């Protein structure tokens, strides 16, 4: 669920917490990809540790591997 749909979904309790965590992880993933695609930002800090998702993907995103994102 996107952040704009959280209210409409009537999520409560654990489900709401999980939805918020997913949204945060996706936001941080976008921030990491944006930073990696910009050569100036790439020389600085890449926020891999800001979410569990980006911690898991850190080697794939920032290593010597090739990553393809399909939307």
Model confidence at 43, in pLDDT bands (50, 70, 90)?
A: confident
pLDDT for 2: 58
pLDDT of residue 28: 95
Q: What is the model's pLDDT at position 42?
A: 80
Instruction: Measure the CA–CA gap between 19 and 26, rounded to whole angstroms.
Output: 11
Could you tell me if 40 and 50 are in contact, meaning their C-beta atoms sit under 8 angstroms apart?
no
* Average pLDDT over every residue of 31-57: 89
On whether the CB atoms of residues 21 and 31 are closer than 8 A, the answer is no
The span from the CA of 55 to the CA of 51, in Å, is 6
Q: What are phi and psi of 15, to 5 degrees?
A: -65, -40
* Mean pLDDT, the chain, whole residue set: 83
Distance CA 44, CA 51 (A): 18
pLDDT in tens, 1-34: 555 566 667 778 888 888 888 889 999 999 998 9
């Amino acid at each position: 669920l996107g952040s704009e749909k959280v209210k409409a979904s009537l999520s409560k309790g654990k489900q709401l917490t999980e939805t918020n965590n997913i949204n945060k992880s996706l936001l941080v993933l976008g921030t990491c990809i944006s930073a990696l695609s910009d050569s100036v930002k790439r020389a600085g800090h890449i926020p891999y540790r800001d979410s569990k998702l980006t911690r898991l993907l850190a080697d794939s995103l920032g290593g010597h591997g090739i990553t393809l994102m399909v939307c």
